[in-house]
Amino acid sequence: MTHFIDGAWREGNNGSFDVFNPATGEAIGQAARGGRAEAEAAIAAAVRAFPLWSASTAYHRSALLYKAHRIMTERAEELARLMSTEQGKPLKAARNEVRYGADFLLWYAEEAKRIYGETIPSARADQRFMVYRQPVGVVAAITPWNYPVSMITRKLAPALAAGCTAVLKPAEATPLCAIKMFEILEEAGFPAGVVNLVTAEDPAEIGEVFTTHPDVAKLTFTGSTPVGRMLAAKAAGNMKRVSMELGGHAPFIVFDDCDPVHAAKGAGLVKFLNTGQACISPNRLFVHRSIAEPFIATLKARTEKMKIGSGLEDGVAIGPLVNEAAIAKIERQVNDALDKGAELVCGGSRATEGDLARGHFFAPTILAGVNEDMLIYREETFGPVAPVILFDNDEEVLERANDTHYGLAAYVYTRDISRAMKMTEGLRFGIVGVNDINPTAAAAPFGGMKNSGLGREGGHEGLDEYLETKLAGFSI
pLDDT tens for 393-442 read: 999 999 999 999 999 999 999 999 999 999 999 999 999 999 999 999 99
Is the pLDDT at 370 greater than 90? The verdict is yes
Name the catalytic one among 186, 279, 380, 457. 279
Averaged pLDDT for residues 303-319: 96
Catalytic, 164? Answer no
Catalytic, 177? Answer no
Among residues 196, 243, 135, the alpha carbon closest in space to that of 462 is found at 243
Among residues 169, 228, 153, 227, the alpha carbon closest in space to that of 201 is found at 169
- Phi-psi label, residue 459: left if phi above 0, alpha if psi -120 to 50, beta otherwise: left
pLDDT tens for 97-128 read: 999 999 999 999 999 999 999 999 999 999 99
Strand partners, 343: 368
Averaged pLDDT for residues 168-187: 98
Report the C-alpha gap between 227 and 451 in whole angstroms: 11
Is the pLDDT at 137 greater than 80? The verdict is yes
Per cent of the chain over pLDDT 90 is 99
pLDDT tens for 145-159 read: 999 999 999 999 999
What rounded mean pLDDT belongs to the chain? Answer: 97
pLDDT value of residue 26:
96
463: CB partners within 8 A, 6+ apart: 108, 111, 115, 158, 161, 162
Collect contacts of 115-124 with beta carbons under 8 A, ≥24 apart.
Answer: 115/58, 115/161, 115/162, 115/463, 115/467, 122/473
Among residues 58, 86, 98, 203, the alpha carbon closest in space to that of 140 is found at 203
Is the pLDDT at 1 greater than 80? The verdict is no
Residues 448, 248: contact at Cβ < 8 Å?
Answer: yes
| Amino acid, res. 449 | M
431: CB partners within 8 A, 6+ apart: 280, 408, 409, 410, 439, 440, 446, 447, 448
Helix (H) or strand (E) holding 111: helix 91-111
Residues 361, 322: contact at Cβ < 8 Å?
Answer: no
| Amino acid, res. 321 | L
Half-sphere exposure of 473 (CA within 13 A, CB side): 7
316: CB partners within 8 A, 6+ apart: 90, 91, 307, 308, 309, 310
Report the C-alpha gap between 64 and 90 in whole angstroms: 31
72 — pLDDT class (breaks 50, 70, 90): very high
Q: Going from the N-terminus, what domains does the chain have, and what CATH number goes with each? A: 3-246+450-475 (3.40.605.10), 250-434 (3.40.309.10)
| Amino acid, res. 183 | E
pTM beyond 0.85: the answer is: yes
Report the C-alpha gap between 408 and 452 in whole angstroms: 5
Half-sphere exposure of 180 (CA within 13 A, CB side): 23
pLDDT tens for 20-70 read: 999 999 999 999 999 999 999 999 999 999 999 999 999 999 999 999 999
| Amino acid, res. 114 | R
Among residues 265, 234, 236, the alpha carbon closest in space to that of 252 is found at 265
Is the pLDDT at 365 greater than 80? The verdict is yes
Averaged pLDDT for residues 216-238: 97
Name the catalytic one among 38, 245, 457, 465. 245
pLDDT value of residue 431:
98
Per cent of the chain over pLDDT 70 is 100
pLDDT value of residue 13:
83
Count of residues for the chain? 476
